[in-house]
Chain A
């Protein structure tokens, strides 16, 4: 049986729907000895900013029931070093490179997007407007519809690369923010970022993370993420990249049935360094067993009456 695994994210064609989630796969090279990077639909690299960021003090992570909280604080090497030191390595692989980026102001977002758009070897941009670990006030980029429209619009003006906007689940109505992002120029949406959470040590009576709160990821958040993909699929026409606790091929299929065109594997990489390609193999076996010849036939199938 011939099988089509390729999917489209706007004008970007991926050889298969399995991508990495930003912040869980470094700049790709960290996993090169565990995974054949050529087999990935796309690598989404750790979030970048114009200037390098030091990140938060430790402890930065804590394990919770079927998941983990992180408050890394967007530590990164900065866009210039990424372009000179990491892109040459990534370009030796036959995969798509998607750069996740953020800024501290509308102007910084636009400047970052502009700089990244000038570099060779970047196939798409993913805008992080939803990190739960930034200082108070920053979250308005992903939670206040007027600011979301302004920042996405400003980035849209300076780049012709496919623009993916990563949405925050820490809102009352995610489909509203999805519509706003699409109206402002997003070509695709990543759904979802981590859920803000907290864990307290009952012996010391203090939050376990130095940052006090962090982003919850892992299997614990999967039902929330699936529900949000389902809602966003109903609200907008652009492709959705589904993510949130995907550990297996079955999980990935569930997201596609809810409406995802592609999926991103995050925390699972920490548990099993070859999770991405194991999940791809699982998807292929599922399609063989179910007699599905085109992966795109799964997209949104759960919406049928």
Chain B
């Protein structure tokens, strides 16, 4: 949870995923979309801000994992899965899509770290024209995913995560999705950021943000 200004409007901190770490520096990657990110964008270098974290869980990559990790990033969702692509150096199959070519941040870096990358854009300005879900379906229909031991890790807009979840069920692949909800406290107290699952409401900030896609009631 990161403070975006020193005043009281906006009041609440904003939740970001940790993008990169080098030495004592933490980096976040964001797209300017609302007032919070607008204020972050105009913040002067050297400004002190409050931050609490790290909070919540992470993508559950098994130890000594022999499965093929499929990593899915929709738009700015790349910020969340980027460390995973890095960690799985050379092993990940990445599906990365956005509205246009210009929205595909860090594409060269991701390409260099991935075993294989499938790029798509809504307008066809680069890669496949269409959605990530389309690319994923055509890829999976070409392989026997039940036997291959794939696991999906995804972050992006809700409609994408829902589509990925449905596809993973059809292909019997375990999928983990990083969810977003309006968040106030970030520490599990306000119960504002809940998502409905088969076991009832769970808090994105505490039990999440990464949830088992087959548990979520979309």
Contacts and interface: CB of A to CB of B under 8 A. Distances in A.
A68 interface: yes
A65 B10 CA distance: 7
B187 A271 contact: no
Nearest to A62: B182
B9 A60 contact: no
Interface in B170-190: 181-190
Interface residues of A, number: 33
Given A66-B11, A68-B11, A271-B12, A55 B201 contact: yes
A271 B13 CA distance: 6
Interface string A24-60: 1110001100100000000000100000001101111
A31 B190 contact: no
A72 B190 contact: yes
B183 to A, nearest CB: 8
A271 B11 contact: yes
Contacts of B193: 58, 60-61
A58 B182 contact: yes
A26 B192 CA distance: 12
Contact of B195 (A58, A267, A269): A58
A193 interface: no
Contacts of B216: none
A245 to B, nearest CB: 9
Given A54-B200, A58-B194, A61-B192, A269 B11 contact: no
A67 B10 CA distance: 8
A35 B28 CA distance: 27
B41 to A, nearest CB: 18
B44 interface: no
A84 to B, nearest CB: 19
Contacts of A273: 52, 185, 187
19 contacts: A24-B190, A26-B187, A30-B189, A31-B189, A34-B52, A46-B189, A46-B191, A54-B200, A54-B201, A58-B192, A60-B182, A61-B182, A63-B10, A70-B192, A75-B194, A218-B8, A269-B189, A270-B185, A270-B190
